[in-house]
Amino acid sequence: MSNDALAWIETELAELTASGLRASIRTIDSSMDGWVTIDGRRVLNFCANNYLGLANHPRLREAAKRAIDQYGIGPGAVRTIAGTMTQHLELERRLAEFKHAEACITFQSGFTANLATVPALMGDGDLIFSDELNHASIIDACRLSKARTIRYAHNDIDDLRRKLAGAPQFRRRLIISDGVFSMDGDIAPLDKLCEVAEAHSALLMVDDAHGEGVLGKGGRGIVDHFGLHGRVDIEVGTLSKAFGVVGGLVAGKQPLIDWLRQRGRPFLFSSAMTVPDVAACIEAVNILQESDELVTQLWENARILRAGMQTLGFDTGHSQTPIVPLMLGDASLAQQFSRKLFEQGLFAMAIGFPTVAMGKARIRVMNSAAHSQADLEQALDIFEAVGKELKVI
Ligand SMILES: Cc1ncc(COP(=O)(O)O)c(C=O)c1O
């Protein structure tokens, strides 16, 4: 009986396969780095969010090993029962200090940080104004909160103002935006969002997943980038991308963080980050506080790659960050392009509908400080060869 009840899944999967929309998931058989092993081959990796090359950094590896020797591995509980270890508090204190925020709380991931935060602040009778291109975790968090969500046009402050002015009765209002939009690499106009939020007495939340460790002085994030310390109510971030580990964070004023410790459901009902994760994250903060070398290297690599692509004649969109979209338009062309890149020894994903709008398919090229100058030159040679073969350039 139970098999029959699941039969629809096979039908749906078959349809996904037939329409070319079934995700084929590549398996990495090496550490995450500028080069990775896939299907027994070493390939240049322009696919991961390992912006600073910390995912396989010797200091993070050592820190994780030392912590395991001292504290073991699992926390054994959710944070509010027995899962808060001295290291969790140390990481939160260090992150707050690094980001010049009053306080900080960590979660198991950036996704759960969003799921914790929005429903803890907003509920029935409240209004959320959400950028139309916000990340799935924000969309889900808004749904979970049961507040009414009004989408405004992407990065369009005038549309946001209009929608705020025409908004119906409400209890609380929250404006929420990604910091860096990960498919185009553009940056939210946080300074203007801040002005609008202040003018309308609305809360402002930014999800800086792709700006954490990338934007701002030494990677201190989007709030630092715009010099808005103390003016953005809720700064969500991730430790899973530039920080090279896994985890999420919220930085803000002390009462907000105290509230999330009481009402952020993933904090209360899902086990804490593991010991090696936390120790590695602390080491990542140490590295970033000591020097901005990796952040500078990332931006320099991105500059070289973007300039090289443009010289070759590729359309690299309007990214303002180390994410370089190679705009191709047609989804099957993008798929083919990605396959050819892989054949030539470079791993970069094709992104198509519904992740981006129909007709806006692309290869998303993710830069990393882990790439050497020779890697970048080799990558540009491969992009040129595939671009010419497929008559894109
Ligand atoms: C804007 C944004 N928020 C949240 C997340 C999720 O972060 P994590 O991988 O730490 O759950 C991502 C990652 O894709 C993201 O881009």
Closest ligand 1 atom, residue 240 Cα: 10
The CA 47 to ligand 1 mean position distance, Å, reads: 15
Collect all residues with Cβ–Cβ distance below 8 Å to 320 and sequence separation of at least 6: 185, 186, 187
- The structure tokens 């047609």 sit at 330
- Specify the pLDDT at position 112: 98
Told to judge if 210 belongs to the known catalytic residues of this protein, a careful annotator would answer: yes
Other C-beta atoms closer than 10 Å to the C-beta of 247 total 26
Cα 281–chain centre separation: 16
Catalytic site residue from 241, 319, 368, 371: 241
Please report how the helices 331-343 and 373-389 are oriented relative to each other, as an axis angle in degrees rounded to 10: 130
Supply the DSSP symbol for 55. G
The preferred substitution site among 184, 241, 270 for testing ligand 1, maximizing ligand atoms within 8 Å of CB, is 241
Nearest ligand 1 atom, CA 134:
1
Ligand 1 centroid from CA 128, angstroms:
19
Cα separation of 315 and 181, whole Å? 18
- Interior/surface letters 273-295, b for 16+ CB within 10 angstroms, e for the rest: bbbbbbbbbbbbbebbeeeeebb
User: What's the pLDDT at 324?
Assistant: 97
Give residues (CB < 6 A) around ligand 1. Answer: 109-111, 135, 137, 178, 182, 207, 209-210, 238, 240, 248
Tell me if the bond preceding 354 is cis, omega within 30° of 0.
yes
- 44 with 35: CB under 8 angstroms? yes
Beta strands in 39-147 (DSSP E): 41-45, 103-107, 127-131
Q: Where are the alpha helices (DSSP H) in 131-264?
A: 136-145, 157-165, 190-199, 222-225, 254-263
The confidence score (pLDDT) of residue 2 equals 58
**Listed residue (138, 118, 229) closest to 181, CA to CA:** 138
- Residue with CA nearest ligand 1 atom 10: 110
Cβ-count burial 77-86 (b if 16+ within 10 Å, e if not) = ebbeeebbbe
The residue whose CB lies within 8 Å of the most ligand 1 atoms, and thus the one to mutate among 238, 239, 273, is: 238
Between the CA of 238 and the centroid of ligand 1 the distance, in Å, is 6
For 106, counting Cβ atoms within 10 Å of its Cβ (0-12 exposed, 13-18 middle, 19+ buried), the class is: buried
Task: Specify the pLDDT at position 3.
Answer: 65
Which residue positions in the chain have pLDDT lower than 70?
Answer: 1-3
CA 392 / ligand 1 centre spacing (Å): 31
Q: Whose C-alpha lies nearest to ligand 1, atom 16?
A: 209
pLDDT of residue 62: 98
Catalytic residue of the set 210, 225, 360, 371: 210
Half-sphere exposure of 165 (CA within 13 A, CB side): 7
Q: 163, exposed or middle or buried, with CB in 10 Å at 0-12, 13-18, 19+?
A: middle
Report the separation in Å between the CA atom of 169 and the middle of ligand 1, taken as the mean of its atom positions. Answer: 32
Number of the ligand 1 atom closest to the C-alpha atom of 247: 10
